[in-house]
Amino acid sequence: MLKPLTRPKQKPLSPHFSSGPCKKRPGWSLAQLNNALVGRSHRSQAGKAKLLEVITLSKKILQIPEDYKVAIVPGSDTGAMEMAMWSLLGPRGIDVFAWENFSHIWLTDIVQELKLENVRKFVSYYGTIPDLEKTNPEHDVVFAWNGTSSGVRVPNGDWIDDNRKGLTLCDATSAAFAMQLPWKKLDVTTWSWQKTLGGEGAHGMIALSPRALARLSDHIPAWPMPKLFRMVNKGAVTETLFEGETINTPSLLAVEDALDGLHWAEQIGGLTTLIKRCTENLSVFTKWVEKSTWCTFLAENASIRSESSVCLKITDPDLDPTLYPDLAKTIAKKMQDTNVALDCGAYRTAPPGFRFWSGATIDKQDISLALEWLDYFYYETVTDLK
C-alpha cells in the first residue's frame, strides 16, 4: 500500500551530503580564508608555521599519543595509504581485510602492484565485515576503519593484540574526527582533510607509532621508491616531515581551510562534540529506517554501522528487485534537481540505494528534512512505475 503523496514544504538549509569532499562546517564562507598565505612559499617561515599548526591541532583534537609522529602528505588519504604500504610492507606476512571499495584497492595494490607473497585475504560483501578475530598478531594488518562506500565500520579495536609483532595499517579517512580511535592499537593511521571537517581534497595525513617509525628506518623496500612516498633519507627518518616540511608543494589556500575546520572543531568542544554530532545524526536515520516500509541500512548489523557515512538500500517487498537500480538513480536525480540532497546516490559498485554523509559538519535537522523528501520521491516514482 502506497502512502499518500504529500510534497514536503521545507528543504534542508544545506543540500550538501557528498561523501567527499564533504560539507563545510556550519557558518563557513570563503571570507574565512582571507588570511591564507596565497602567493607565499610553503617553505617560508610563515608557511611552515601554518603547516605545523595543522599537524599540532590535528594531533591535539584526535588525542593522538605524544610519541606518535604526524605529517601532511600528498595525494589525500589514497596517497597516505600508498605511502605507508610502499614504505613499510614486506618483512612479514600480511592480513588484508576488505569489505568495501578502498580496502579492495589496498588488497589489489599489495598483491598485483607490490607483488607481495604470504598475503592472507579476508573479504566480505557490501554491508558486512570479515571476521577480524582471524588476524595473526605475527602479521602486518591492512584495513579501513570505516567503509565510506558501504556504511560499515570496525566496531572496536579489541581484536588487535597489544603484544603484536606486526604493524597495523589503518585507513581512517572517514573515521578520524567522527569516531574514537584506539591509537595504541594503530601503528599507521591515514586520513584526509576532505572528510569529517569538510576540508579540501588533495592533501592527506599520516600518523606513525614508534613501532612504525622503527620499521621505517630499519626496513629497505625491495622496489624503487617514488619521491612522493619517501619518508627516509640515507637510512634515517626525515624528521622535518613531521615539523611542517612537506614532500611536495601543498595548497596554502587548502591549508587555511583545514585550519578553519580544526579551529571550529576545537571551539565546539573537540572530539567529544564531533562524535556526539555524528551519533545524533545516525539516530535520525535509525528512527526513519525503523518506520520505513521500503528502505533499510546496507549494514543491517547495528554494531558495525557507520555514524559518518550512512548507506541505505531499497528493500520494497512489493516491487520487482530488478527495478531497484533505475529507481534509485531516478530518485537520487530528483533529490539533486530539486536541490534537496546533492550527491546522495549509492556508490557505483554498491547495491542500489542511497549514501548520505552524516559527519560532524552535517546538521541533524537537514537530515530529517532530506529523508522526508526521500520518502516523497520514492512513492512518487513508484506510483509512476505502476
Start-end of H helices in 318-363: 324-337
Q: Which residues of the chain are modeled with pLDDT < 70? A: 1-4, 386
User: Residue 266's pLDDT is what?
Assistant: 98
pTM of structure: 0.96
User: Residue 383's pLDDT is what?
Assistant: 85
Classified as helix, coil or strand, 15 is coil
User: Residue 4's pLDDT is what?
Assistant: 59
Classified as helix, coil or strand, 107 is helix
117-146 pLDDT per residue, tens: 999 999 999 999 999 999 999 999 999 999
224-235 pLDDT per residue, tens: 999 999 999 988
Phi-psi region of 314 (alpha: psi -120 to 50; beta: other; left: phi over 0): beta
Domains and CATH numbers, the chain: 39-267 (3.40.640.10), 270-385 (3.90.1150.10)
Cα 354 to Cα 295: distance, rounded to the nearest angstrom = 10
